[in-house]
Amino acid sequence: VVLDNASVHRCKLMRELRPIWEKRGLYLFFLPPYSPHLNIAEMLWRILKGKWLRPADYCSTESLLYATNRALAALGSELNINFAHAA
């Protein structure tokens, strides 16, 4: 599993569970700090915020969820994120 360096990913509970997960074959890999260009979720969220979501969409959790789902459905296969430049 590839994770960014959000504090929730580095909390005490995650550190305690990591050995258990590794025994089961689940390994955690952390992206380098300050590397949103490697994090597809960050790229997608930047696109959604910049092009698809309106200020009114942030009024409530429900409206943000609805607007995000609407935007993702509209994007369909239109979005292509290329990591080739990061190599």
Contact (CB, 8 A) for 48 and 71: yes
Whether 3 and 26 have beta carbons less than 8 Å apart is answered as: no
Segment 3-32, tens digit of pLDDT: 888 888 889 999 999 999 999 999 999 989
Question: pLDDT digits over 29-87, tens only?
Answer: 998 988 878 877 778 888 888 888 999 999 999 999 999 888 888 877 666 666 555 44
Cα angle 75, 78, 84 (rounded to 5 degrees) comes to: 120
CA distance 59 to 55: 8
Domain ranges of the chain: 1-34, 39-82
| pTM for this entry | 0.49
- 8 Å CB contact between 36 and 81: no
